[in-house]
Structure 1
Amino acid sequence: MNLWFLLSLVLPTTARLFYLRTSSPLIQAHDNLYVYAYHVAAGRNDAALTPDIGDARPAFMNGSRIQFTLNSPFLWNLHPTAVNYAAWKPVMINIGQGDDGFFINSSGLQWSWAKGFGGWLVCDWYHNKPQLFYLDGFREHFLPSTCGPVDLKVQYLDGHSEL
């Protein structure tokens, strides 16, 4: 069955597809990278980053959740993981209910996490690829030199690059 047909059955009629793209003033190598799903287990992917938009998959807002259109009949959700006592935590793209609280403003994608969202972070990490993390807003951050804060900009497929 055609993936776009299946998506038309579950997408809200007002959903706009977009790519998530990094904007980094501090680390040039982390600028203009697109979020994609790096497979790590059945139904689980780390949110990794690539300069090739062809490797990325579009996402859309479903209420206050971010869902991705991977080549699958399932909906894949942006999932910031919980890691006790960590100053920064991995972001995944997984099958499941997903996390609420995402919104888009002039800075890009934000998350209203009650425990203190401190922004997005990209690190050259253990997949030998840039990987997406989020900062715990209530912890002091001593970041490795291969990590830097980024904004996640929304690049719509309908030709509008950002808000």
Structure 2
Amino acid sequence: MNKQQFFLKTAPLPGEPASAYTNLYIRHHGSGINSVVLTPGTPKFIKGHLEGSRINFTSSTHQERQWGLTLCIDGATRAGWEKVEIVENGGSDRLQFSSNSETNEEVLEFEGEDAGEKVWRGWMVCEWASGHPQLFWLTDKLKDKLPPFCHRVQIVRELL
């Protein structure tokens, strides 16, 4: 079966201007670190594809290996924002693309619920310890403003 391959990249929220975090590509940090970092160039080794409600990545050099886009929860309960990782043989369910009629782009969203309440509020990028901007997901627990070193973004699909 031929799977439609794509890259994932950042875009501004509807109605907002482009920022320093616009048009950056999602890639695996590597070197034993599963974090998702953002870079201006397309990833060299992995391409995404949708499998049901998961985003999986395959390597151009090791096609038998797969990594999944994983929305992490650190601890027993969610914080206001949580890490996003690319984990071998992992991946979060309930990811989907929705159409943005204004920009004609497909936007990646998470349809998670807890006790009937939607838990997902979007994505943010932060200048973090990895040397590259890092991707996080926002949860329903976020009650305050984002930290000053972070910026809200959308994640869109760029078909190959």
TM-score, structure 1 normalization: 0.79
Match for residue 148 of structure 1?
Answer: 151
Distance 1:56 1:88 in 2: 28
Match for residue 63 of structure 1?
Answer: 52
Change (3 A) 1:26 1:135: farther
Amino acid at match of 1:110: E
- 2:84 equivalent to 1:105: no
Q: Which runs of 5+ in 2 are unaligned?
A: 101-106
Change (3 A) 1:113 1:20: same
Change (3 A) 1:56 1:147: farther
Question: Which residue among 13, 21, 27 is the counterpart of 1:30?
Answer: 21
Match for residue 80 of structure 1?
Answer: 71
Amino acid at match of 1:95: E
Larger helix share, 1 or 2: 1
Distance 2:78 2:95 in 1: 23
Match for residue 5 of structure 2?
Answer: 17
Contact 1:76 1:95 in 2 (8 A): yes
Larger strand share, 1 or 2: 2
Contact 1:119 1:137 in 2 (8 A): no
Aligned-CA RMSD value: 1.9
Deviation at 1:58, TM superposition (A): 1.6
Q: Which runs of 5+ in 1 are unaligned?
A: 1-12, 158-163
Amino acid at match of 2:97: I
Number of residue-to-residue matches in the alignment: 143
